[in-house]
A and B are shown apart, each in its own frame.
Chain A
């Protein structure tokens, strides 16, 4: 397989202007892999180990897509992006989708021209402080120094929260999450603020994680969602329904363990989900066994949650809002039919 790069033809002759915007799925199939923009190193969401193997919930979502498209979860390339240049990367077609703990907001959905494909993780912004500071509520944080990351919604939420509660603070802003947690650890700041899931992950980088605690106040809604560019509905549908398929699989108890047995199930909704009945996969532009591929190679939503951030991981985050709707959470997927 030859690698085509635009740079090369640019160097040879002046490039022909305005290449047509081909369908993303065709590009992916021609390329043989999905380009997935992820976070550069956030335990539980997307993190490479010393050998460059990626793990995390965002990573597994992209693997599920690769499984659905290619029946091979390894046919995905991960591109670590900073908070700052993730949107540019998606807009300039450097990646096919962003699966990078990105908050779904109206302006990103409309003004920046993206489509959010459903919520992978319901999150909220919180505060991490030292236990030694003896603070029990965020309302006691007046006159503190707060470390936060530039180019995120957290910086703006933080300003809103302190302003609406008439508290004074000093914000110290850094470019990358690593710099922020390092500054907090060195004592430059009293408070570290970001999405709670991320606080859990960053806390692992501290030399004594148990000396720090998360305050009970959650100051924002942060629905973290994968996103694609406007203007390619088919690809948008595939990304959206891959997420829904994983949720539905959990709801119908289709997991990596139970898959073979559930394939024999007589329940019509399970049969539809697993492509034994109907041609819902083909309607998406995939094969009918797409959900089987996803579950076999990657697992259902509950499995990837547990494996990466939940009880089965180092983070041990409570499922909370991310439980299925019928178990008291918010995760609710439209039916496949």
Chain B
């Protein structure tokens, strides 16, 4: 046998086919493109700003605003600055969002559980609610509540009166405002401290139970902290309560607290709309807990309430929490629809009126978007933390 000379052809691949080189080139190109686009936008914007004489910078924040706002959580008048107007708008956004999240969660859980009820009519009603609410645009619902429902209420002179204390008319709902004496701060501080102490106590008790298996009753102590101590202070310090009643005088009611219809319409629409989505999430979450879990828990001799609290809910929450987070975020972002009915939220006050009066679109819209982005990030972060805590811990 003779050696067959094997001519090994050297496969010569060009260096550009090396994955490392390739990815470096592509990333460089991407960065280059982004820089180019950024530079192009910067240049044209600068040129436009100069030719259109648009003022730039953040000095406008310290100018007197000169307008008034219909709902303010902190005192605000025409002589306050745009910066304060921004704050008022932001607080209004957070206020309606917080209440909306709370209400939406409550309604959503009720409807979601209701859909699984074996009572036929309740299940159907909840199903109908979910279908109708989810298939109509939110803006439609906001306008409906505002223009068709709340605007149809009587004028102040013919207000619907409840017990002569609460008045409902097309300018909103008026309720008596409690006016506390000067030492109310002490009472409030005690109550807050009491809540904090009870929470700490509960955590400690829980740790104790996990370590030793022995349960501890904490609620009597908690009750003492939260209720009894502040109440004692309330009477001991003679804080006293006066009530500021709403009274019709001239065109409008004076005194009391007023909930403006813009706020009501937005709150109702936001919470019922989001509740429709939460209901579906809750239903899916509960259905995702296998029946075997419930049966096993019953077999262990747990009570029905304990089965729900200790077995079903923790597992359902695992499925519920991630999509619930995005619903909360949606609700907060959707609160910006306030601008369509004149509720003074961040978009309406800042990206609306302030933008109009100053004309500084870039700064104002930039800030507005960043604020929402920041809120979104904070909430997703918090909910992720929570989610990690309740997530399945596999060994």
Q: Which residues of chain A have a CB within 8 Å of any CB of chain B?
A: 14, 17-18, 21, 83-84, 87-88, 91-92, 111-113, 133, 141-145, 150-152, 155-156, 159-160, 163, 169-175, 179, 182-183, 186-188, 190, 229-231
Within 8 Å of chain A (Cβ to Cβ): is B68? yes
Within 8 Å of chain A (Cβ to Cβ): is B67? yes
The 7 closest A-B CB pairs, nearest first, are A113-B53, A151-B356, A186-B151, A91-B52, A159-B78, A187-B155, A144-B251
The reply to whether A231 and B68 contact each other, CB–CB distance below 8 Å, is no
Q: A17-B40, A145-B171 are in contact. Are A171 and B47 (CB under 8 A)?
A: no
Q: A112-B359, A113-B52, A188-B170 are in contact. Are A145 and B252 (CB under 8 A)?
A: yes
Q: With both chains docked as a complex, state the minimum distance between the C-beta of A86 and any C-beta of chain B, in angstroms.
A: 10
Identity of the chain A residue whose Cβ is nearest the Cβ of B361 in the assembled complex:
A88
Q: A91-B52, A190-B251 are in contact. Are A155 and B67 (CB under 8 A)?
A: yes
**Inter-chain contacts of B53 with A (CB < 8 A):** 111-113, 230
Complex CA gap A33/B53 in Å reads 27
Q: With both chains docked as a complex, state the minimum distance between the C-beta of B232 and any C-beta of chain A, in angstroms.
A: 40
Q: A163-B78, A170-B70, A172-B70 are in contact. Are A142 and B357 (CB under 8 A)?
A: no
The reply to whether A175 and B250 contact each other, CB–CB distance below 8 Å, is no
| A-B CB pair tally, cutoff 8 Å | 106
Within 8 A of A (CB), among B333-376: 339-340, 342, 344, 348, 352-353, 356-357, 359, 361
The reply to whether A14 and B40 contact each other, CB–CB distance below 8 Å, is yes
Identity of the chain A residue whose Cβ is nearest the Cβ of B353 in the assembled complex:
A150
Q: Which residues of chain B have a CB within 8 Å of any CB of chain A?
A: 40, 43-44, 47-48, 51-55, 66-70, 77-79, 147, 151-152, 155, 170-171, 249-252, 254, 261-262, 339-340, 342, 344, 348, 352-353, 356-357, 359, 361
Looking at B44, B47, B70, B361, the one whose CB has the most chain A CB atoms below 10 A away is B70
The reply to whether A156 and B252 contact each other, CB–CB distance below 8 Å, is no
The reply to whether B52 and A145 contact each other, CB–CB distance below 8 Å, is no
Complex CA gap A144/B356 in Å reads 25
**Inter-chain contacts of A144 with B (CB < 8 A):** 250-252
Q: A113-B53, A145-B171 are in contact. Are A84 and B356 (CB under 8 A)?
A: yes
The reply to whether A155 and B353 contact each other, CB–CB distance below 8 Å, is yes
Complex CA gap A279/B44 in Å reads 41
Looking at A111, A174, A186, the one whose CB has the most chain B CB atoms below 10 A away is A186
Complex CA gap A230/B55 in Å reads 15
**Inter-chain contacts of A229 with B (CB < 8 A):** 52
A–B complex contacts, Cβ < 8 Å, 28 sampled: A17-B44, A18-B44, A87-B359, A91-B54, A92-B48, A111-B53, A112-B53, A113-B52, A143-B250, A144-B250, A144-B252, A145-B251, A150-B348, A156-B66, A156-B67, A156-B357, A163-B77, A163-B78, A169-B68, A170-B68, A171-B67, A171-B69, A172-B70, A172-B342, A173-B344, A186-B170, A187-B155, A190-B251
The reply to whether B151 and A187 contact each other, CB–CB distance below 8 Å, is yes
**Inter-chain contacts of A186 with B (CB < 8 A):** 147, 151-152, 170
**Inter-chain contacts of B348 with A (CB < 8 A):** 150, 173
Q: With both chains docked as a complex, state the minimum distance between the C-beta of B170 and any C-beta of chain A, in angstroms.
A: 5
Complex CA gap A332/B80 in Å reads 40
Looking at B68, B262, B344, B348, the one whose CB has the most chain A CB atoms below 10 A away is B68
Q: With both chains docked as a complex, state the minimum distance between the C-beta of B279 and any C-beta of chain A, in angstroms.
A: 32
Given contacts A111-B53, A190-B252, 12 further A-B contacts (CB under 8 A): A91-B54, A92-B48, A141-B251, A143-B249, A143-B250, A143-B252, A151-B357, A152-B356, A172-B262, A174-B342, A175-B342, A231-B51
Of A111, A141, A175, A188, the residue contacting B261 (CB under 8 A) is A188
Q: A150-B352, A175-B340 are in contact. Are A182 and B147 (CB under 8 A)?
A: yes
Q: With both chains docked as a complex, state the minimum distance between the C-beta of B84 and any C-beta of chain A, in angstroms.
A: 14
Q: With both chains docked as a complex, state the minimum distance between the C-beta of B256 and any C-beta of chain A, in angstroms.
A: 13
Complex CA gap A82/B356 in Å reads 11
**Inter-chain contacts of B67 with A (CB < 8 A):** 155-156, 159, 171, 173
The reply to whether B52 and A17 contact each other, CB–CB distance below 8 Å, is no
Complex CA gap A280/B353 in Å reads 44
**Inter-chain contacts of A169 with B (CB < 8 A):** 68
Identity of the chain A residue whose Cβ is nearest the Cβ of B71 in the assembled complex:
A170
Complex CA gap A6/B79 in Å reads 44
Complex CA gap A133/B251 in Å reads 8
The reply to whether A17 and B43 contact each other, CB–CB distance below 8 Å, is yes
The reply to whether B254 and A187 contact each other, CB–CB distance below 8 Å, is no
**Inter-chain contacts of A150 with B (CB < 8 A):** 348, 352-353, 356
**Inter-chain contacts of A187 with B (CB < 8 A):** 151, 155, 170
The reply to whether B353 and A143 contact each other, CB–CB distance below 8 Å, is no
Q: With both chains docked as a complex, state the minimum distance between the C-beta of A311 and any C-beta of chain B, in angstroms.
A: 35
Q: With both chains docked as a complex, state the minimum distance between the C-beta of A10 and any C-beta of chain B, in angstroms.
A: 11
Q: With both chains docked as a complex, state the minimum distance between the C-beta of B52 and any C-beta of chain A, in angstroms.
A: 4
Identity of the chain A residue whose Cβ is nearest the Cβ of B339 in the assembled complex:
A175
**Inter-chain contacts of A92 with B (CB < 8 A):** 48, 52
Q: With both chains docked as a complex, state the minimum distance between the C-beta of A148 and any C-beta of chain B, in angstroms.
A: 9
Looking at A91, A155, A188, the one whose CB has the most chain B CB atoms below 10 A away is A188
Q: With both chains docked as a complex, state the minimum distance between the C-beta of A153 and any C-beta of chain B, in angstroms.
A: 9
Identity of the chain A residue whose Cβ is nearest the Cβ of B53 in the assembled complex:
A113
**Inter-chain contacts of B357 with A (CB < 8 A):** 151, 156
